[in-house]
Amino acid sequence: MMQKSTLHNRSQTLKSLAHNLGFETVGIAKAEFMEEEARRLEEWLNQDYHGKMSYMANHFDKRVDPTKLVPGAKSVVTLTYNYYNEEKQEDPDAPKISMYAYGKDYHHVIKAKLKELLAGLNEEIGEVHGRCFVDSAPVLERDWAKRSGTGWVGKNTMLIHPKKGSYFFLAELIIDLELEPDGPIKDYCGTCTKCIDACPTDAISKEGYVMDGSKCISYFTIELKEALPEDYKGKFENWMFGCDICQEVCPWNRFSKKHQEPAFEPHPDLLGLSQGDWQEITKDVFNELFRKSAVKRTKFEGLKRNINFLTPPDQE
């Protein structure tokens, strides 16, 4: 049995290295099978809440057991990286883009930092084996974050931190190093229903805590590759890529502070584009604006589809 002081010191070393790399919050959970979460995921999938995101039903065993992803895993480390930006698009009538996509693609920016963190652990502690994850593998990020006390999962199903809000990316290290686990924290949503009331497509269940992904504006504008359903015409509240509504109305985001990551600064032209500029966007402009951005995922044709869907009939 390893001494508590050793586990504590290792954990503090990890957290110090992570903070030095720009991660804001670090939480640790024991790597083990997630029984309750497995039950909830199965129920969610059975309700077809994943829509056309068939990948969500793949690798079920890996999603609920980190040792299937990393043999010999002892700890799951959850880290948060702030992306909040106080700047907004200048034209109030311009189609809107989710704040997380303002700058360079977070997958690449954060993955590089995680690799640096793993290398730092090897230097400071000794040989550590594991894998880095940034929203790109079958990992139940928010559930691990909840287990490790990085925040609570709110009624809008986002992870919320009581001092930092929810405008941050989640990342994980699953490693074969035994560490001191952090416990979960209290849910502070209380009786608030602002996110449920504000969602224009009724994607959040009436009681909260369950998201019908197939009704979410982010799903429609990013994940759905076919024609957008006419039933939802006029319900997107001008979002052309992603949606921040349930975060914008969340009272806990009054604590959000500007990020310190140069890579997340928007392209100099992005926020100044008018409604007309977006409606007339060309492939060349798209490629220039979003060369290293997460928006590339929807491709030029997908973004055009979304913009056209937002256009009122009298302007078509």
Catalytic residues: 135
**What is the residue whose two structure tokens read 């043999």?**
71
Q: Is 283 exposed, middle or buried (0-12, 13-18, 19+ CB in 10 A)?
A: exposed
Question: Count of CB atoms within 10 A of residue 177's CB?
Answer: 24
Query: Both tokens of residue 112?
Result: 């590089």
Distance of alpha carbon 152 from alpha carbon 139, whole angstroms:
17
Q: How many CB atoms lie within 10 A of CB 96?
A: 23
Backbone torsions φ then ψ of 10, nearest 5 degrees: -60, -45
Contact 102, 265 (CB under 8 A): yes
From the number of C-beta atoms within 10 Å of its C-beta (0-12, 13-18, 19+), residue 23 rates as buried
Distance, CA of 68 to CA of 288 (rounded, Å): 40
Among 191, 197, 296, CA closest to 248 = 197
